[in-house]
Amino acid sequence: MKRIAVGFSGGPNASQIVECVKLAEHLGYESAWVAEGHGGDQFSVLSGCAVTTSKIKLGTAISSVFVRSAPTIAMAAATVDQLSEGRFILGLGSSHRVQVEPEHGIEFGKPMLRVRETVHLIRQLLENGSVNYNGDTIKIENFDLWFEPHRKRIPIYLAGLFPKMTAICGEIADGIILTRSTLKTATDIRENISVGTTIAGRDPSEVEITSLLPTAVAETRAEAMDLMRPGLALYIGFFPRYNKLIASHGFEQEAADIATAFKKGDMEAAHKGVTDAIVDATGVAGTPFQCRDRIEAYRDSGIELPIISPFARGPGAQKVFMDAIKACAED
């Protein structure tokens, strides 16, 4: 089967995600990724996945370097890696100021440096079993793991959207986790990654390019496009960084209009502001055949691992995810 993965960001509960991941493994999916936010504790969910599957890789997409301490992230990562017998990938990122500060009461300062120092500390701790760290954003005294990790080197992927962060990915990460990519994104990103790999003396091919792809499957393309609008309106309206990303894809006015409507609480206008062109450019929407064709186009564009990312809330969320997993699997 061609490479494909599935990502979860709220919707199904923990037990339902486990069932979805079991289905994905059965259908040949390479990996499953769980976000951090309001959908349950990602490491707990992934632990449940780890003990009920045997082949599928499991990852975080992403864990925030602000809302958990670096040693806590390292311990959680090593735990899931042990339970899965070496199938874990640690996805890290800064998250967003609009979440970190008001929702967690933590100052969102120097995010790129915080990511860099977190990666350095985690690798030291897993390799040596203990760490003392005196960084600019992190200071740790005499932290010991008290157990032997299954692997001393767990793959670390970093979220990145813009040149500075993608260059850091090239310098220190094993992979990059993009989101809402277009068919042009991988080419542009590879150039930025090369800036970092040159600094580190690495080959750019050592950094895998993955992308979360908003996904909706329906009987008609029009229905699928409509299913995509609420999720895109939320992300474009609430998160300044995603608003900037969509604007950079050539939708500057649309992104501004959606943000304005969202701030006013006019969700109908925000949803209408998500045009067919935005949906078509930044995700996977359509019939099962159309979705598989679009995923193949992303592979051809340089997205090495497409990660389908359905958006669903409420009692029917598990079915939405399972239907998408089935529809996007190769025949």
Contact 87, 81 (CB under 8 A): yes
Last residue of a domain, one of 244, 263, 282: 282
Encoded amino acid at 84, one letter: S
Same domain assignment for residues 225 and 214: no
**106 Cβ contact list (under 8 Å, min separation 6):** 66, 67, 100
pLDDT in tens, the chain (331 residues): 899 999 999 899 999 999 999 999 999 999 999 999 777 899 999 999 999 999 999 999 999 999 999 999 999 999 999 999 999 999 999 999 988 999 999 999 999 999 999 999 999 999 999 999 999 999 999 999 999 999 999 999 999 999 999 999 999 999 999 999 999 999 999 999 999 999 999 999 999 999 999 999 999 999 999 999 999 999 999 999 999 999 999 999 999 999 999 999 999 999 999 999 999 999 999 999 999 999 999 999 999 999 999 999 899 999 999 999 999 998 6
Residue 296: phi, psi to the nearest 5?
-65, -40
Same domain assignment for residues 145 and 50: yes
Same domain assignment for residues 183 and 59: yes
Same domain assignment for residues 94 and 228: no
**In which domain, by residue range, is 67 found?**
5-218+287-328
Same domain assignment for residues 298 and 273: no
Same domain assignment for residues 17 and 71: yes
Same domain assignment for residues 150 and 277: no
From residue 52, how far is each of 18, 55, 109, 150, 167 by CA, in Å?
A: 8, 10, 39, 18, 37
CA angle centred on 218, ends 217 and 219, rounded to 5°: 140
pLDDT reported for residue 331:
67
Same domain assignment for residues 177 and 294: yes
Same domain assignment for residues 146 and 228: no
Q: Would the pTM count as exceeding 0.85?
A: yes
Same domain assignment for residues 136 and 200: yes
pLDDT reported for residue 37:
79
**80 Cβ contact list (under 8 Å, min separation 6):** 43, 46, 47, 50, 58, 88
The tally of domains found in the chain comes to 2
Tokens describing residue 309: 């990312």
d(CA 93, CA 296): 27
Same domain assignment for residues 138 and 227: no
